[in-house]
Amino acid sequence: MSEHQAIPLARPELGAREEELVLEVMRSGRLSLGPMGERFERAFAEFLGVEDAVAVSSGTAALHLGVRQLGWGPGEEVLTSPFTFIASANCLLYEGARPVFVDVDPETLDIDPDAAAAAVGERTAGLLPIDIFGWPAAWPELEALAAKHGLGLLEDSCEALGAVDAEGRMVGTRGNFATFAFYANKQMTTGEGGVIVPTDAGTAARLRSERNQGRAVDMGWLDHDRLGFNYRLSDLGAAIGLGQVERLPSLLERRAAVAAAYAERLAEVPGVEAPMAARGREVRSWFVYVVRLADEVDRDAVIRALREVGIDSKSYLPSVHLFPHLRELGYREGQFPVAEAASAHSLALPFFPRLSEAQIECVCTELAAAVDASRRG
């Protein structure tokens, strides 16, 4: 395959509306803390069906502010999944709380609620479930577990905007703090950015102050009444975000159509298991398209073979407890066998709304050949 036909892993979908809104901000001269930020927040909250949404500079910033709102800190433990993007563990470390990992469910790859229940101990202060790869965590069970033990609940929905849980509710709408992320590979983007869904008007005000260096809304530039951060989303990012929210239903639909086209073709490919789209009332929101390769397939050889024909793919995700700064807390190989097996055999394929039928066909054909050639023994 020649260079210009290369198929990337992800690509944002931006158009005339985003350009128009970005221009509006540029011409207004209000690049930060202007009206576009509020317009974006209102549109996002409306899409989700929640009272309010606080826009911040990244999903990680949203998670960090969530940890602070819940008051998690030194001496406290928070149960969470090791099969995640590193930010959901790091946000606890920022505040001195300890991430206590619990293995994941083999079908959903989200935190196993029974394992979480078994892991609750004296120091447990909360739960931080992740809707990984856009699959909703077991929210009814996890909410009940949190209520039973009086635990705080912080939801990492950064990969799952639009996913629907077992009770038919969109993730991020259950009344706990929930976080979303808008890096360019996500269901919608602001370039860099995130949102935290507050629990009430009081937490919304504190979040808006903490993202803005600890200033209350009516305070001057050099006044601060609490510790804060610069976690503001620029109005340029908000403008892109508003354009994206306006057509979010069609962006989500297109991602689902690409996923369905993949699933149809991959059903014929031995050694490749496609991700489930729905189960009962649960519905995945398609962030990435991650397949599971059979144990005997050399995944890294498949990645190399695909790269040679210009197709980007990625081992996805590593189990974060094995990164050096978490090993320092005592974590080791073999502690979370379901997560570690998923890390060893999962592969993300090119996935974005504009992926054409021909490109999907090409990826599947090349994947089938690469898998066939990469069987060990």
Ligand X SMILES: Cc1ncc(COP(=O)(O)O)c(C=O)c1O
| Segment contacting ligand X by CB under 6 A, of 114-122, 156-164, 337-345, 347-355 | 156-164
Instruction: Report the residue count for the chain.
Output: 377
Q: Which residues contact 31 (CB under 8 A, 6 or more apart)?
A: 25, 234, 235, 236
Closest CA to 172 of 50, 41, 40, 38: 50
What track of x and - describes contact with ligand X for positions 14 through 53 (by CB under 6 A)? Answer: ----------------------------------------
Residue 85 token pair: 């993007």
* Residue selected from 22, 78, 151, 181 as contacting ligand X according to rule CB under 6 A: 181
Q: Is 130 in the site for ligand X (CB under 6 A)?
A: yes
Residue 155, interface with ligand X (CB under 6 A)? Answer: no
Q: Is 177 helix (H, G, I), strand (E, B) or coil?
A: strand
Among residues 18, 103, 155, 159, which is the contact residue for ligand X, using CB under 6 A?
159
How far apart are the C-alpha atoms of 68 and 61, rounded to whole Å? Answer: 11
Report the residue number whose CB is nearest to ligand X: 59
Q: Are 186 and 161 in contact (CB under 8 A)?
A: yes
According to CB under 6 A, which residues from 193 to 252 bind ligand X? Answer: 194
* Among residues 69, 88, 212, 244, the one that binds ligand X under rule CB under 6 A: 88
Tell me if 85 contacts ligand X by CB under 6 A. yes
Binding residue for ligand X, selected from 41, 76, 77, 156, defined by CB under 6 A? 156
Q: How far is the CB of 59 from ligand X (least distance, A)?
A: 2
User: Is the bond into 317 cis (omega within 30 degrees of 0)?
Assistant: yes
Which of 60, 199 has the CB closer to ligand X?
A: 60
Q: What tokens were used for 295? A: 């144990």
- Residue in the structure block whose two tokens are 């050399």: 298
Q: Kindly tell me which of 182 and 331 has the beta carbon lying closer to ligand X.
A: 182
d(CA 7, CA 1): 10
Q: What angle do CA 191, 249, 34 make, to 5 degrees?
A: 45
At residue 154, the 3 state secondary structure works out as strand
User: Which residue in the set 69, 80, 81, 84 belongs to the binding site for ligand X (CB under 6 A)?
Assistant: 84
> Per CB under 6 A, does 108 bind ligand X?
no
- Contact residues for ligand X, defined by CB under 6 A: 58-60, 84-85, 87-88, 130, 156, 158-159, 181, 183, 194
